[in-house]
Structures are given as structure tokens and as C-alpha cells.
Amino acid sequence: MLRFGTDGVRGLANEELAPEVVLALGRAAAGVLGQPSPAGNPGPTADPAAEAGATAGGPTPSGGKPLFILGRDTRRSGPLLQAALAAGLAAEGADVIDVGVMPTPAVAYLAAERGVPAAVISASHNPYWDNGVKFFSAGGAKLPDEVEDVLERELKAIVAGAGKRARPLPTGEAVGAIADDPGALARYERSVVACLGGRTLEGLRVALDCANGAAWRSAPEIFAAAGAEVVAVLGAQPDGTNINDHCGSTDPRALAKAVVSHGADLGLAFDGDADRVIAVDATGNVVDGDRLLALFATDLGERGLLPGRTVVVTVMTNLGFHQAMASAGVKVHTVAVGDRYVLEALDANGWALGGEQSGHIVFRSLATTGDGVMSGLLLADLVARRGEPLAPLAAASMPRLPQVLRSVAVADRHALAGAREVWEEVRRTEQVLGERGRVVLRPSGTEPLVRVMVEAPTEDEARAAVDRLVDALRTSLGEPAH
């Protein structure tokens, strides 16, 4: 049975994530998340002519039925699973607006625009054969743990056929309708450009890598609309199987070459669903999420736009970031890995900025979730405002302790908490490092892996410690069957 991780549910498409299970998930979501759409809220219509003449708000009202927005990335299995999810929702009487291929933050924007829940069929940075479903509550916020627990229990009950239905299945006009919204992507693109507050990127040369994913069309259009000269676009020919394949934020090597060969001022690499970004400076060096966040925190702090002078990060953030923020007079609040935990801390405290080393960056006053294209646009704006190349800005943003990160495939990642030998090795390593470094072990929330991270005064020391921890993990948790 599917289990919710740090970002919805994921699995091998058409096996763990079979269409019949996704249909059941749609039925569960209709009951747990579905509420009648607010008065005047646009919903689907079965009239194609009405669709063609729809206003910027989208299709015509749905008559008080629950309303969901569905989007997906470019994976081969996306249409299959999106159809299954839409069918499950409609079978329970919910109307559905299917917006097709759309960045995850665009779907969140549309959910906020309409005040309704939404879902995205995507496995983010995973290879194409995986897929997943992530939900947003009404208004575009990611689901808290307790809501996901309820949704998971409801899914299990539906799959098992447990209990009797409280009401009969809807029939006739009570069955949900499924329609599209042709203007959705354009509205999202305008909202992202608007974050510049009227400033333009005129004179800035930018290269983009869209990971053959959900932003393959919108990212170049947004940067062009903002006035940048887009000198190269990579990863913009999705075929269903090449998403994240040697491209995008998980592999920016091709982008680095393109930046140098085209003389770009900077490059930006997005992941498959475009909620994260990694940058490349004009010399071809990668600028990761830690440095991007340090740049944004310092810049916002200097401009008086950082509420509480606080930035939210995860346990994976480099110690050098903490040192840089201390020097800048910015407080750092640390949470568990997962951008939804960053968001929860931002919302609970009224803070405005947070993010992860992987490139998830959240500008809470501008969006309800991390948006890679928006973050990239704001980085370009920062470079343009400062009148200085990205390379020296990034180098000065923070020192960096050598950090070694390894993903270890194990037979049972859920057994990590009780692996006594592993935690004894962690304790020994921490005693040796003292305050000169640190160790982080955590099971992946989306893949059968355990993440191992060690920071140390030298890279050799960090690598040696990681090797010992990996050996302990494989001994205690076993290696996966092949």
C-alpha cells in the first residue's frame, strides 16, 4: 500500500503506483479534501464553446460541487495516472479542472487563485519510470502530516473495501465533470513576472535547463517576458522518458557548458516539476541552494524585507551558511528535511524566506510553495540590481565546510531508527568531529534510500567517515534485492 512521504506518494508507475490505486486515492481525496467550491468560484463546464470564451478566471461556475485542480509533469505515465485520479474525484461527485502539463508551483498558484484543493502527478527529480501524487489543500498549501494520515487511512479503507458507504455513489448530474482551463498557464506566468515589481532583466543574458520537465515551455516564456535575453534553452524537448535524464537541477553539467559557450551571465537549472532551481555562474561553477539562500537572506535583510530577520533551513544546510548568517545578523531556524516543514515554520512564525540545499526556496510573501522559476527570476533580478557577476556574489555569500553526501540503497530504510550499530558509529564519528563538523542520517521520504551526510574540516576526513557509516548501514539494514 502507498505511504505518504515528505512530498506526497511516489512509486514505480503502473506497479506500486497502479491506476486502480490512484483512482482510489482520488476517491479518498474527494472525501477528505473536497469542499463545495466557494460562491462564484469558477469550475468546469461541459461546453467547449464556453471554455473557449472563458474569462481570465477560467471556466464557468460548478454549481457548488467540490472542485479540484489537477496538473502533471511530462512523464510517460502522467496522462494515465492523471486520468485515474480525475476519474476517482469525479466518481465521488467532485468537479475537476485538468490543466495538463504544469509546474507544481503553477498548480499551487491556481489552487490559491480559486481557493480550492489541487493535486500534481509528478515524481519531481526522480527518473521517468517513477511517478507520484502530491496534494495541496484549498488555497495552495501543502498538506500537514495529520491530514495526510487521514487521507492514507481513507485510501486503505477504500482499497480494502472496508465498511459501508455513508451515501450512495452520485449519478446523473451529481457525477463530477472534467474540463480544462486554456488560460491557466498564462495567468501563472504573469504572476511570476509580477514578482519583479515592474523591474526588468534587460541586458541580462540567461541560459535555462528545463530538465525536459514541466517548465519546458513556461520558463523561457517567463524570462523573455521579464526582458532577459535567453541565449540557450536546454531540456525543452520532453518525450515522456527523458525527464531529469542527464539534465536539470540534478545534473547541471550540460548547462554549465552552455553558459560558458554562449557567454551567458548566469544559468538556471530546474527539476522535473520545477519547484527547485540550481544556478550556474558565468564561469561554469554551480551555485547550490545554500548559497542561493544566503544571497537572498542577506539581500532581503539589507532591504528590510526579512521579517524577524530569520531564515528557515533544514538539517542538511551547510554549517558555513550558519556562520555567514551569524555574521550578517540573521537568525537561522532549522527544521527536518522537506520543503513542507520549511513552509510550516514560515507560516507559524510569519517569516518570509526559507529553503533547502537542493534548491527548494520559498518566498512566502510571493507564493504558497517553492517555485524554481520564480527563485531563478529573483536571483537574476538580484544580480541585475547589484551590478556584479554572480560568481563573486556567490563566493562572498558564505564559507563552505567540506560536505560529503551519499545516498545508500538498503533493503529496509524504515528500520534505520532501530539500527543500534549504525547509531553507535554515528556517535563515535560525532565524538571525533566535535564542533568541527557534524553527521546527518535520514531515510529518504520518497525512495528506498538512506541519505548520509558528513561535514568535516577536510574532505578526506568527511569521506572516510561516510565510508564507515555506509558499511554500518549495509551491514545493519541489508542491501536491496536485485
CA angle 64, 68, 74 (to 5 degrees): 155
- Using DSSP bridges, classify how beta strands 449-455 and 310-314 pair: parallel, antiparallel or unpaired: unpaired
Instruction: Identify whether 124 is a catalytic site residue.
Output: yes
DSSP codes joined into one string, 131-172: EEEEEE-TTSPBPPHHHHHHHHHHHHHHHHT-S--SSPPP-G
Q: Smallest Cα–Cα separation from 405: which of 288, 324, 231, 300? A: 288
CA-CA distance, 444 to 457, in Å (whole number)?
26
C-beta of residue 220 within 8 angstroms of C-beta of residue 228 = no
Q: Cell numbers of 15, please? A: 506497479
DSSP codes joined into one string, 55-96: BTTBSPB-TT-BEEEEEE-S-TTHHHHHHHHHHHHHHTT-EE
- Residue of 37, 62, 122, 124 marked catalytic: 124
Q: Is 422 left (phi over 0), alpha (psi -120 to 50) or beta?
A: alpha
Residue 154's φ and ψ, nearest 5 degrees, are -65, -40
Sequence-distant (≥ 6) Cβ neighbours of residue 217 within 8 angstroms: 101, 185, 236
Active-site positions read: 124
